[in-house]
Chains A and B, each alone.
Chain A
Amino acid sequence: MRGVSRRFGATFALDGVDFAVHGGEVCALVGQNGAGKSTLMAILAGALAPDAGEMRIDGAPYAPRDPLAARRAGVAMIHQELSLAPHLTVMENIVLGAEPVRGGAGRVLAVVDRARMRETAEAALAQVGHRDIPPDQPVGDLAPAAQQLVEIARALASGCRVLVLDEPTSSLAHGDVRLLFERIARLKSQGIAIVYISHFIEEVKAVSDRFVVLRDGRNAGGGITSTTAAEDIVGLMVGRRLDGLYPRGQRTPGEVILELDGVVPGAATLALRRGEVVGIAGLIGAGRTRLLRAIFGLEPIRSGRLAVGAFTGAAEPHGRWRQAVGMLSEDRGGEGLAPGMSIADNMTLTRLSPFGPAFTVMPARQESAAAHWIDRLGIRCDSPRQAVAQLSGGNQQKVAVGRLLQHDVDVLILDEPTRGIDVVSKAQIYELIDRLVGGGTKAALLVSSYLPELLGVCDRIAVMARGRLGAARPVDEWTEHSLLMEASGAAS
């Protein structure tokens, strides 16, 4: 892959990236969240088309129109979430879409040749070194590790030469990880090119021959894994940071407003004070979002004590809003906002009582309240009645933030507040957080996968790794490097 670029709207997800992998080698692709790894691999696997750049396989030009074409050309991708049909048997899954038929192929009603199907499946299973998986068993009955093997076997059965593994260990138990590495070595010895994507530096060290680092959609370096220290790989992932993006006024932490004491999920103990921003760093899947959702009552708290000011115990979201706690969801389109509803409805939904006497709601009053925040936040729209779906990502996020302001919450729970929005909107949101918290009565709990943001906005940061929240330490005791080391488990 040479000079591959891909834009989403105004932002470059990939900007002239080069990437190569040879047969019989494992190349690790590393980078922070949002660095462009997924986009690059989606282009390789035919799910996205590049805006610029060229790709070659064995010297021949390669431009797959869709994932099926990529698979025919010998490129297969194993995603984090496996894509098997759970009710079909192992062998049916392996030959899915390319079932051997009796007689000439191409006849629509050709009869499936089950004997050859079994042969193909057994050959592919043997190739991954597992004859012991019964071809007749429904895939849904297998353990996750075995399911992953079936998926790899399916890729081999379709004649793949480039195999992309995206975070393959995220669903595996510890012992299975070692087995997976052995199988990867076996595939490598068969001349298959393997791209290994992972957040975990120690896995990259253990399994790969070479590594390539992406940062902000560009090549940030690479090298031979065995001769590079883990710290140096992390250093390449981190890069420099933008200055001036993160305003920081005078902040004076006051009384504790949110207190967690051994809250599970998250094993979290934390005290959030008025007038401060506490950040939670960690990798995707570390359990940060679950902790926030549990605090807000969207998921059950299994144990531990939680207090919001004078209120203790669990509460539904309804109750949390009444305690002046508000949450911004990471899933903007699916949960954060109701896309079909208007800006006014989305902003005012948490508390409709001010907009009319008794149980009534006057749309005109909702709209004038929304118009106020549209003006204050600089939301670009036609009117407060416009459907949220018609706004750009940054403006949508400002609507979601506007809801917290309209409700005038004291505790802002922010889950990836700047994900997927442009840099100007980001800066506005940082400024807003600073101004709100600087007033001394409000506090924010911020989850972000973007380390410069955490370091720029927060007063204290805690790291969550493998489902456990560490202690919150002042921001000047952290660097991007140490955060990443801690989050990826490389520190221990």
Chain B
Amino acid sequence: MDRALAVDGSVGRRFVGARRLANERGVLLGLAIVTLAFGALVGPQFFAAANLELMARQTVIVCVAALGMTMIIVSGGIDLSVGSIVALATVVTALLLRHMGPLAAAGGAVAAGALCGALNGILITRLRVVPFIVTLGTMLLVRGAAKGLADERRIEAPTTWLNDLLRTAQGGGGWLLPSGIWLTLVLAAMVAFTLDYTRFGRHLFAIGSSERTARLCGVRIDRTKLAVYICGAALAALSGVLQFSKLSVGDPTVAQGLELDVIAAVIIGGGSLLGGRGSVAGTIAGAAIMAVIQIGCSQQGLPNWVQQIVTGAIIVFAVGLDRWRQAALARP
């Protein structure tokens, strides 16, 4: 018996590896193609360390918010309020910096974001309104709160190390990459671990895959959903701290429509709006594809509208390809 188990187990593990790869191969291949295409257009300087770092710095804000969105989308939900939460976080950070240290200010911003997430979660689980509608409402609500808090102005703040999170490390600044990018990588690893190797993560997949089954199996749906919206909003607020670092002011009008970039990153990365599917590696590759297009287009001297058309086409193409592949897999 034990030997049979061991054999079965190893077969299972090999299968995991193959499937993971199959799930993310598409988006990684897409990233490679897009990068090589722009590399060919722009020339070898496209692959210069400074340029790659620029792209990474460009993408972290979307990336960090998209980590949270990945968890939410895996659970079958959606959060349209992340753009507003980013703006609120920049304002809160700027305001708090006047009174306390940078770490506490950033912590305060994340707490404010978590509070918004708790509001989303409570409305979704208590009122039984679909997440799309609830977060459409809180998108406006939080944006309004940010503007009110900032008195509809940009908030100046004293300069601290928070402003250096995304400063280039090309001048020989310590750790090879800007600390904001390191932060993103650590967060990505944490979220990936949470999704694949914790009870919370498995429950998220179960809820997204079939909420009724999850309920039958004793998963506490409301509690789990509340937690995921809080996590998602806290990550959005962290991305707001990075946004503040880039702007060095608190700006309540920043990140309008950012939620759509964030959702696009998750979807390009293989997430399904129906829930139950999505991965951190895919999401980051999805965000990277968009950053490469953006920077590649501007370095090639292509106007903004070309960039938008290319990004839009890639979203539709990626999702279409994915559906087609799923259907092909489902056939016996």
Stretch at the interface among B5-13, B41-49, B133-141, B299-307: B5-13
> Are B210 and A371 touching (Cβ within 8 A)?
no
> Are B212 and A334 touching (Cβ within 8 A)?
yes
> Are B12 and A350 touching (Cβ within 8 A)?
no
**B219 close to A (CB within 8 Å):** yes
**A337 close to B (CB within 8 Å):** yes
Q: Contacts A318-B220, A337-B213, A385-B16 hold; do A361 and B205 have CB atoms under 8 A apart?
A: no
Contacts between the two chains (Cβ within 8 Å), count: 120
> Are B9 and A371 touching (Cβ within 8 A)?
yes
- When C-beta atoms are compared, the residue in chain A nearest to B223 turns out to be A318
> Are B5 and A368 touching (Cβ within 8 A)?
yes
- Chain A residues with Cβ below 8 Å from B213 are 335-338, 346, 349
Q: Contacts A336-B216, A337-B213 hold; do A359 and B199 have CB atoms under 8 A apart?
A: yes
How near does chain B come to A138, taking the closest CB pair, in angstroms?
A: 25
**A374 close to B (CB within 8 Å):** yes
> Are A318 and B19 touching (Cβ within 8 A)?
no
**B270 close to A (CB within 8 Å):** no
How near does chain B come to A9, taking the closest CB pair, in angstroms?
A: 12
> Are B202 and A338 touching (Cβ within 8 A)?
no
Distance between Cα atoms of A483 and B316 in the complex (Å):
58
8 example contacts (A-B, Cβ-Cβ < 8 A) are as follows A329-B216, A336-B216, A345-B202, A349-B218, A368-B9, A375-B4, A384-B8, A385-B12
> Are B216 and A298 touching (Cβ within 8 A)?
yes
How near does chain B come to A178, taking the closest CB pair, in angstroms?
A: 39
Chain B count of residues within 8 A CB distance of the other chain: 36
From A317, A340, A353, A382, B276 is in contact (CB under 8 Å) with A340
Which A65-115 residues have C-beta < 8 A from chain B? none
How near does chain A come to B122, taking the closest CB pair, in angstroms?
A: 18
> Are A350 and B217 touching (Cβ within 8 A)?
yes
> Are A337 and B210 touching (Cβ within 8 A)?
yes
**B206 close to A (CB within 8 Å):** yes
Q: Contacts A338-B210, A363-B197 hold; do A368 and B8 have CB atoms under 8 A apart?
A: yes
Chain A count of residues within 8 A CB distance of the other chain: 49
Name B's interface SS: helix
Distance between Cα atoms of A344 and B11 in the complex (Å):
13
> Are B5 and A338 touching (Cβ within 8 A)?
no
> Are A367 and B209 touching (Cβ within 8 A)?
no
**A463 close to B (CB within 8 Å):** no
- Chain B residues with Cβ below 8 Å from A226 are none
Which B1-57 residues have C-beta < 8 A from chain A? 1, 4-5, 8-9, 11-13, 15-16, 19
- Chain A residues with Cβ below 8 Å from B198 are 359-361
> Are B199 and A361 touching (Cβ within 8 A)?
yes
> Are B276 and A341 touching (Cβ within 8 A)?
yes
The 7 closest A-B pairs by CB, nearest first: A371-B8, A338-B210, A367-B12, A318-B218, A338-B209, A321-B218, A335-B212
- Chain B residues with Cβ below 8 Å from A26 are none
> Are B206 and A349 touching (Cβ within 8 A)?
yes
> Are A364 and B12 touching (Cβ within 8 A)?
yes
> Are B210 and A345 touching (Cβ within 8 A)?
no
